[in-house]
Amino acid sequence: MVAFFSGGGLMMIPLAGCAVFATFSIFERFFYYRTVSAQDRTLKAALQDLLVRRDWTAAKTACDEAATPLAQVLKKVLESRAMSEQTIRELAEVELNAVLPRLERFVPALGTIAQVSTLLGLLGTVLGNIKAFGLLGSGGAMGDPALLAGAIAQALFTTAAGLAVSIPAIVFHTYYNTKVERIAADAESFASGLIFTITRGL
């Protein structure tokens, strides 16, 4: 690993930074979404009984305890239950837009890392090729083929490193984008059901 890192030259430093940030973002979001899903399941189960009994105070307390984006949207609906249905829906939509940054945290950065790491790998490849052709032009590689091999290896190392960072970043960026859309759609659907329950007096 040390040889691989040193063989890629200076471009391996920013690539290593991209790898560290991408790894942190992937694991942070994984555990965040896992926790949110578990808390939302508990919240939904608790609200089913509370809404039947129309215990709004206990329902708001349950939302406070969950403290998830869904809970924040539902709490806003509960707090606005005395208003008109249209107003409640508008407030719920505003609240949903307000919690989206919490759901999307680090996800756009993963997409940026995927693009940047690919370009950094390409830049390292170009620099390695320039070095190799410079050695050929000066005739230095003729006496020591190891110099030419080292320049070519530098180009290949950075290409491999860039792809190694970029591919997982692209995969998880796409996956987490889908995850955010599903959570947002679920929150919107559940909020609509809650609004219906409140306004229809069911």
Q: What is the pLDDT of residue 143?
A: 46
Q: Give pLDDT tens digits for 93-110.
A: 999 999 999 999 999 999
Q: Give pLDDT tens digits for 179-192.
A: 999 999 999 999 99
φ and ψ at residue 53, rounded to 5 degrees: -85, -5
* Tally of domains within the chain: 1
Query: What b/e string do you get for 66-76 counting C-beta neighbours within 10 Å, with b at 16 or more?
Result: bebbbbbbbbb
Q: Which two tokens stand for residue 58?
A: 């206990």
pLDDT-based confidence at residue 166 (cuts at 50, 70, 90) = very high
Residue 37 lies in domain: 2-200
Query: CA end-to-end span of the chain, whole Å?
Result: 64
* Residue with tokens 């690919």, as numbered in its chain: 118
